[in-house]
Amino acid sequence: MRRDMSNATTANKINGMKGESGILHLDGFNLANGCVSDYMHGIFLRAVYKLLDLWFSLSSTNERCFKGKHIKEVARRVGEMAAPYFIEHLPHRDFDTQYTHLKATELQALMLYYATPCLARILPKEYLSHFELLSQCVFLLLGDNVTQ
């Protein structure tokens, strides 16, 4: 990360870095232990978005996991879901055309509460099972207490 920061410029980003941060020069500051990871971007805007892209994007038509021909059915299911009181940002009603523009909070709601029933009998069981495991892990890690 330090190397990426040192070699990057505003015009030439490297792995999202645009240049050195001032905190690199603080005495005793450990970059790895001193920065909190951002789960909203790391999980929802990266991993979940990548999965949606693999499943529904035309650029993945040759992939075994491509399910683009079922996106209207997924969109219908998403649109029929009723939100629990604590979800502020619902996934778009026109999911089939707008899934690439979902915000992190919408992807979070989709992953944790909507995706499993919306993708059932569309994704192969193996893929759905792996997605459910990821969703369950994220749900547990976002809880107030993480126990054994």
Cα separation, 51 vs 71, in Å, equals: 13
Residue pair 65/52 in contact by the 8 Å Cβ criterion: no
List the domain range (segments joined by +) for residue 128.
39-141
Q: Is residue 52 part of a domain?
A: yes
Task: Write down the pTM of the prediction.
Answer: 0.75
| Chain CA centroid to CA 89, Å | 15
Question: What is the count of structural domains for the chain?
Answer: 2
Each residue of 6-36: pLDDT tens digit?
Answer: 888 888 888 888 888 888 888 888 877 887 7
Please answer whether residues 77 and 117 qualify as being in contact, where contact means their C-beta atoms are separated by less than 8 angstroms: yes
The whole-number pLDDT of residue 93 equals 67
| Encoded tokens for 113 | 């509460």
Look at residue 74 in the predicted model and tell me its pLDDT: 93
Does residue 98 sit in the same domain as residue 69? yes
Same domain, 60 and 7: no
Percentage, residues of the chain above pLDDT 70 = 97
